[in-house]
Structure 1
Amino acid sequence: MKSLIQRGKFFYNNMMLQTKFTITHLVITTIPMLVMFFFFHGKLYDMVLADTIRTEQNASAMTMPQIDQLIDTCMEAQKSLEAHPYYKKLFRLIGYQPSNWSHDSSEAADFYGAAEDIIDGEYITNILIYLDIPEFQEIFHNEASSQIFRPMSEARGSYWHGIFQGDRSLNSLFCPEFYLSPIEVRKSGDMAYITKSTILYDSEYRTCYTAIYYSKAPFTKLLKNNLTEDTSVAYIINDRDSTVATSDDGLAGIYHFSYDKVRDFFMSSNNFVLKNILDHDVYAGFYYIRKADWFMVAVIPTRAIIKKSFLLMIGFFFIYLLCILISFLIANRLSHSITNRISSVIGQMAKVRTEPPTPLPASLYHDEIGGLIDTYNYMTRMMNRLIGEQAKAAEDLRAAEFNSLQAQINPHFLYNTMDMINWLAQQGRTEEVSEAVVDLSRFYKLTLSHKGILSTIADELEHVKTYVRLQNMRYHQIIDFVDDIPDHMMDLPIPKLTFQPVVENSILHGLLEKVPKGGTIVITGWMEDNTAVILISDDGVGMDTGKLSGILSGKGTSKIGTNIAVFNTHRRLEILYGPGYGLTYNSLPGKGTEVEIRISSFYDRN
């Protein structure tokens, strides 16, 4: 035992100081939380049950007046129709006689308008009055009256009509959906409040029914809002043990109580009662809807309460974990306030692996840690200076490589042109000698006119036109040159001598190798987002795959000639703009060659 204590003490003493502080604070905060957790665990179910039932009772207390209001709306609609003078005259005074009935009277029109005002389209969906008189009567065929008055044949066959026929003493009936015929549900509404009355016809009193059709949706919405648990169900049943409305048809069928049992339960208790249905324990509450003689039943399965208590326990557990996390953060913060100076040095030194070192703020204290920070800052300054010197050396090397590549471009062109001028002078063709000298002077003036390494596409195009004119003088006008570069691209910056090596290569290795010699060179361009694309094509002899693969790789090229000039042009563009830019060759032997030059349109000319 003593040995075990010694090992534990040794392990604790070897911990980091921040870890020791963190563990100490966690132990102090977690022990009280554990005690509270085990104390409340046993009473959690009873607390959840009481809270659930109380919440359901409060919700039901708010739902019942709204259901009563919906029922009152139907009854008031029926009463307003009965109170109308036209209704009284038709059903209580003179009755319906074809000789004295006027469908075009202002009183009839006012009655139809009153019925239309009652129909709101959301709750009250239709009003129909079924008359047991012959169907050939005009009241069923007039456009205005037929919207409300319908023959009794349309009501026969419905369940509600059978109920009235079976119970002669019944004067009114609230009808759920299945009491109605399919035609009624489709055209009028899925529920109805129907009242029975009589009408005098041919000296005989005949039965008639006033049907106020309304929507079940408001009842369903109220029942769903009444629920506090996802697995609970609320439904309404009438005195014929029929379901009027429900929040869930499936659960209402499983947890169904008959009307007689609900009435007995309601009379014996006004609180939720525990019942067993199909081996499921449920808590059920019952509420009487007096005006319609309905009962609302709210059923809460015990498994929902168990689930809720379990979720509450899980929530408490996560709160407990959150408290531990907060305790850990506080403990870590307190301990870090002691060791943060050392941690800042360690963290700053660790960044050197992924980024250049940055100095720490100068220490306000002159202890050992302050000396460590000063030493680290001195080391950082030295490293940053070395990194800067290395970057400058790399940039100087890049510029030197670019200038070296540009200096290699085509020095033999001058020799060939001078030979041509000499040959023209020996032939006595002085005008052509003068023209050649002017073009040659213009060619090198454009080449050397800027101190920088960049020109514009317009200058490069003029430069290559001058070059082609000199070559045409040398080769007796066998080269056709066509340019089609859009005006908006003319001012874009481009390295000097980008077009000329490509055009020279097209002439020497494309057009001059044809039989007979000569052909056409076309230069055009377009923009692709931030990239300028120049296409130089010829109809020369083309190149096979071997030559095509080596022309831009630098393999097999001599240190002079057009191939090395093209390779150097490609390398210059890669150095300036990066990978993905430069020259791309496509060629078909015997057909010609296309060279695509890609440059960035955002390169800084300075």
Structure 2
Amino acid sequence: MASALTKAFREQTKKLIDGRLITDIHIYMDLPKTQKIFSTPDTSGIFLPMNEAQGAYWYGIFKGDPAYNVLYCPSFYLSPYEIKNYGDLAYITKSSVFFEGEYRTCYTAVYYSKDSLTRLLTDNLTSQSSVAYLINERNSLIATSDQALTGIYHFEYNTVRNSFMSSNNFILKTVLDKDVYAGFYNIRKAEWFMVVIMPSQPIVVKSIWMMVGFLLVYLACIVIAFFIATLLSHSITNRISSVINQMAKVRTGPPAALPASDSHDEIGNLIDTYNYMTKAMNQLIEEQAKASEDLRIAEFNSLQAQINPHFLYNTMDMINWLAQQGRAEEVSKAVQDLSRFYKLTLSRKEPISTIEDEIEHVETYVRLQNMRFNGIFNFLIDIPDYLMDYSIPKLTLQPVVENAILHGILGKIPKTGTIVLTGWLEENTVVLLISDDGVGIPPEKLPAILAGKGDSKTGTNVAIYNTHRRLQLFYGPKYGLTYKSIPGEGTDVEIRLPGDFKAPHQTDV
């Protein structure tokens, strides 16, 4: 009986493997390799010992986070052996079996080919200059219609998710001096996003033709109205005059509809047509105003998206070095600080934080830098408690402190120094001052920093410019950053924010 069931299971499994979408199915079991299930001809090709999965990245994900029960795996998660022999994508579920008085873990892996996804993405594009691709929550590329264009128009997973969650799942972005539209679609079960990039030029051309057509229709309506008015001027002069007077008002303001006509003759129809046209024009004006506001928001989001941590790879190298040295406690502390750093950066979609959270964020950053550079930075904070709840855009302090470290203190000999963060309330303005005793900045280079024209190879000057620009977009031109520096002695950066309101208490999610 058991043999018959085993053969039926094998046959059913073979039917599922069609070679085009599903390419293979395996069940990895945490059982001794000597078990018959791994050597019996009817099951050996399906059931595999757990050690054959231990070299795969997906296995490490399951082991690292017990909360995972289901995982959609791109090629990056699979071992080279799996990709070569089974398939380049996989759907893996975690379960357990009862063996010798205890539950053992097993993983069911359904392997499939990403060629079907690639064809699906490619077949639905209307332009060769467009591209569609899939990314998962770990920012890994699942499939793409064009690998080269994906590299050019790549969006980070968090940027896509934040735009989608803020109901802004269609944005305008400038890439290589060309405007493109990016559309986002959430694949909920897999926690994937499909990103579709379309160049704006064809859309703009179609829009222009639509506007030309609308204007032609409008002019045609005017000509028809004038012709009707000429023919009937002797009998209905007063009604025609009222229509003309109302239409003339379009030159000084938005069009307004006429009172509905009681009659159904030619003039009544003209009034109805004019009212319809007025409604369409007003809707177009409202849509243009909304598009202008959406563009302003998109420009702000684009500025914010440029501000990313620059020290991630160096920190990961440091953690790798500590791990190789066997310094487990320091590895644990570094990982905790790095996790907290990104949690404070990415945990909420709102761009506003509190001064208290920003101080914690920058303290975590300095601790990580001190672990990397053997504690050569002193970071002193003297902020009064009453300022802690005031609002501040996220990622305001960290780029300034990073600039002080990379271009100030590390430029000294010896490479050691102190950064001081102070703050006070000046009338109705919050003032934060970040001072360092680094090498300072020559006077001729100070204007270029806030203009985004610095020659930094690390990107920190761009981050400083974006921070200054964001503050001005939020609050106005009188707020933002001010640099003062004495070469050889140090630099002071003053951050001015409005003191009109405090941020509501926020909790991490």
TM-score (norm 1): 0.39
Larger radius of gyration: 1
Where relative contact order (Cα < 8 A, 6+ residues apart) is larger, the structure is 1
